[in-house]
């Protein structure tokens, strides 16, 4: 066993200061330092979170009014996907616990779709009471009239990640005892067994620690560059390797400040849209296998000029500064090697489609704190093994979920989308990524009836126009029936689902009228946060 008393975090930013804040809150007896150079610039374009971010904020004891205003933060209740079917349709994946209106289940919706037809964007309205909030871009803390939606639990945020890191640094971590070392690491010394003995800095000499946490981003100074831990790429199934980031000024805040992150599919990738209080963070994720850097920027600017919601003058868009970024999908084989633990991009990255970046950071932080608390900060190889298994499995599960979005996308109109549709082997996924389905292309009825109400799979299948249960349902139902019995059963089922559709329509009409009188997201923020 090795006792951990001193931790040095290399790299600041959101991952470094989120780690420091959580460690000093939960393990205040530890000596914690962050080495961060003020000479290294950051580009804050807006970061989207998931509702699970509330777990991170709650464990720090932070309330919205404490930090949102300092981070240009706004609320978020949904992830939307536009044009992934090539039809311009916008489908939603809201946060919250699905009730399926209290009397139905996910399986019912897919059967109704098979018998009566349904638009792909209607599943969210059926599954969650917050559908009309998202459609009308309204928001309220009074969740008593919205079925099974809880403001505190089911609302996430759009934030400026750079400002969030600064807030956790200056307003939380340093006041609680975290030491900030403004310096650059110029050399890493290792012991004979490969462990890091010390870091050599430009101005502060040698710095030692019992545990070094690598938060140096894609550079991965400690885990990759020093310890040479193998990187398991997912580029075979997640082909996007480039991104363009841009800050977009508002034209109309009341319309554009949505409480949803929108991903819009283009010819060679997709565009994110993340509204903040003072601007919109936007960008284009693409693969350079199908388009050059210059072509991608041209395609992105044309999209901004011709945006169907808020078109912008060409002369304005041509002035926008574009930041080009390299990205890589995959993860280190192990997150904790020797006396180095990597958190954030230095450990792995999937891609931004489901806003998993910060989610993976704080889930990794929670695992680290659990492990450190297990034996009062005494660590051996078995405990590190538990940590590595936990973090790897969580990463792989999320990777499979994100991969499913591409597997079910209906685009086939460009070389990029044809490759995604026809060439990628989704069944034999690399590096033990969980299969997309538990039983080929069919989930049994029992699965749908017992599905976790927080599970996102039905939203993706429904939203991307997949109805993979219908044929098997009919085959099982009719296997022992005569033709006459089959006809009668079909009529009975249709009557049942016609009634179900009536219930859905009545509920949505009620919600629509209730939501109409609520303030817009922008007005709500002015009243509650930005007074």
Residue linked to tokens 């079917």:
85
Backbone angles phi, psi at 453, to 5 degrees: -65, -10
The pLDDT assigned to 307 comes to 86
Residue-wise DSSP of 377-433: TEE-HHHHHHHHHHHHHHHHHHHHHHHHHHHH----SSHHHHHHHHT--SSS-STTP
Helix (H) or strand (E) holding 477: helix 470-478
Closest-CA residue to 18 (of 364, 276, 393)? 364
Tell me the CA distances in angstroms from 248 to 261, 312, 460, 496, one per residue in order: 14, 10, 28, 48
Q: How confident is the model at residue 464 (pLDDT cuts 50, 70, 90)?
A: confident
Letter string b/e over residues 77-91, b meaning 16 or more CB atoms within 10 A of that residue's CB: bbbbbbbbbeeebbb
* Cα separation, 262 vs 272, whole angstroms: 6
**More confident of the two residues 472 and 144:** 144
Q: Could you read off the pLDDT of 38-55 as tens digits, one per residue?
A: 877 665 556 899 999 999
Q: Quick one: average pLDDT of 122-142?
A: 91
Which residues make Cβ contacts (< 8 Å) with residue 248, sequence separation at least 6?
Answer: 279, 280, 281, 282, 304, 320
CA torsion sign, 444 to 445 to 448 to 450?
negative
Q: Could you read off the pLDDT of 379-402 as tens digits, one per residue?
A: 999 999 999 999 999 999 999 999
Q: Could you read off the pLDDT of 194-237 as tens digits, one per residue?
A: 999 999 999 999 999 999 999 999 999 999 999 999 999 999 99
Answer whether 0.85 is exceeded by the pTM.
Answer: yes
Please check the confidence at residue 315 and state whether its pLDDT lies above 50: yes
* Cα separation, 332 vs 345, whole angstroms: 10
* Cα separation, 370 vs 236, whole angstroms: 33
Catalytic residue among 76, 113, 166, 338: 76
- Hey, what are 208's tokens? 């030692």
Q: What is the DSSP letter of 61?
A: T
Q: What is the CA radius of gyration of the chain?
A: 24
Helix (H) or strand (E) holding 81: strand 78-82
* Cα separation, 83 vs 388, whole angstroms: 38
* Cα separation, 180 vs 166, whole angstroms: 12
Backbone angles phi, psi at 106, to 5 degrees: -60, -40
* Cα separation, 254 vs 521, whole angstroms: 7
Please check the confidence at residue 483 and state whether its pLDDT lies above 70: no
The pLDDT assigned to 440 comes to 44
Contact predicate 450/93, CB 8 Å:
no
Which residues make Cβ contacts (< 8 Å) with residue 475, sequence separation at least 6?
Answer: none
* Cα separation, 122 vs 91, whole angstroms: 8
Please check the confidence at residue 470 and state whether its pLDDT lies above 60: no
3-state secondary structure 278-324: CCEEEEEEECCCCCCHHHHHHHHHHHHHCCCCCCCCHHHHCCCCCEE
Which residues make Cβ contacts (< 8 Å) with residue 352, sequence separation at least 6?
Answer: 48, 243, 272, 285
The pLDDT assigned to 482 comes to 66
Please check the confidence at residue 473 and state whether its pLDDT lies above 60: no
Q: Quick one: average pLDDT of 103-122?
A: 83
Q: Quick one: average pLDDT of 146-170?
A: 93
Q: How confident is the model at residue 476 (pLDDT cuts 50, 70, 90)?
A: low
Active site residue 516: no
Contact predicate 416/268, CB 8 Å:
yes
Q: Quick one: average pLDDT of 405-426?
A: 93
Q: How confident is the model at residue 336 (pLDDT cuts 50, 70, 90)?
A: very high
- Hey, what are 172's tokens? 């939380």
Contact predicate 21/301, CB 8 Å:
no
Pairing verdict, β 260-266 and 78-82: parallel
The pLDDT assigned to 446 comes to 64
* Cα separation, 4 vs 360, whole angstroms: 24
The rounded mean pLDDT for the chain is 90
């Amino acid at each position: 066993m090795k006792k951990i008393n001193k931790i040095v975090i290399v790299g600041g930013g959101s991952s470094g200061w989120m780690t420091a804040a959580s460690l000093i809150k939960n393990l205040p007896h530890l000596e914690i330092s962050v080495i961060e150079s003020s000479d290294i610039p950051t580009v804050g374009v807006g970061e989207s979170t998931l509702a699970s971010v509330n777990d991170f904020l709650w464990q720090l004891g932070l309330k919205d009014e404490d930090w949102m205003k300092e981070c240009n933060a706004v609320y978020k209740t949904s992830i939307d996907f536009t044009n992934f079917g090539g039809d311009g349709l916008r489908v939603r994946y809201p946060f919250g616990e699905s009730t399926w209106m209290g009397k139905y289940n996910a399986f019912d919706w897919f059967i109704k779709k098979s018998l009566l037809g349904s638009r792909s964007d209607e599943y969210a309205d059926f599954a969650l009471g917050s559908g009309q909030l998202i459609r009308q871009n309204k928001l309220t803390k009074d969740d008593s009239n919205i079925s099974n939606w809880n403001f505190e639990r089911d609302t996430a945020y759009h934030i400026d990640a750079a400002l969030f890191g600064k807030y956790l640094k200056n307003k939380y971590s340093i006041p609680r005892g975290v030491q900030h070392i403004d310096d650059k690491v110029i050399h890493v010394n290792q012991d004979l067994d490969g462990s890091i003995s010390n870091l050599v800095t430009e101005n502060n000499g040698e710095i030692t620690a019992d545990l070094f946490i690598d938060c140096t981003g894609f550079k991965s100074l400690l885990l990759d560059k020093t310890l040479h831990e193998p990187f398991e790429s997912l580029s075979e199934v997640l082909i996007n390797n480039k991104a363009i980031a841009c800050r977009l000024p508002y034209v109309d805040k009341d319309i554009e400040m949505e409480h949803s992150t929108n991903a819009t599919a283009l010819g060679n990738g997709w565009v994110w849209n993340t509204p903040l209080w003072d601007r919109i963070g936007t960008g284009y994720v693409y693969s350079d296998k199908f388009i050059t850097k210059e072509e991608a920027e041209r395609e992105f600017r044309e999209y901004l000029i011709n945006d169907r919601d808020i078109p912008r003058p060409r002369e304005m868009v041509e002035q926008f500064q574009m930041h080009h970024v390299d990205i890589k999908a995959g993860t280190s084989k192990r997150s904790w090697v020797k006396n180095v633990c990597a958190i954030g991009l230095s450990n792995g990255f999937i891609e931004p489609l489901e806003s998993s970046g910060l989610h993976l950071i704080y889930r990794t932080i929670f695992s680290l704190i659990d492990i450190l608390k297990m034996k009062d900060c005494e660590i051996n190889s078995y405990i590190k093994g538990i940590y590595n298994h936990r973090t790897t499995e969580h990463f792989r599960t999320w990777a499979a979920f994100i991969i499913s979005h591409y597997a079910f996308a209906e685009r086939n109109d460009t070389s990029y989308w044809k490759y995604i549709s026809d060439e990628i082997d989704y069944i034999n996924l690399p590096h033990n990524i969980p299969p997309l389905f538990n039983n080929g292309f069919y989930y049994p009825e029992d699965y749908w009836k017992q599905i976790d109400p927080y599970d996102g799979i039905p939203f993706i299948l429904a939203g991307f126009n997949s109805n993979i249960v219908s044929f098997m349902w009919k085959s099982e139902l009719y296997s022992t029936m005569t033709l006459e019995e089959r006809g009668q059963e079909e009529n009975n089922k249709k009557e049942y689902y016609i009634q179900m559709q009536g219930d859905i329509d009545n509920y949505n009409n009620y919600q629509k009228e209730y939501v109409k009188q609520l303030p817009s997201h922008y007005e709500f923020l002015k009243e509650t946060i930005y007074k």
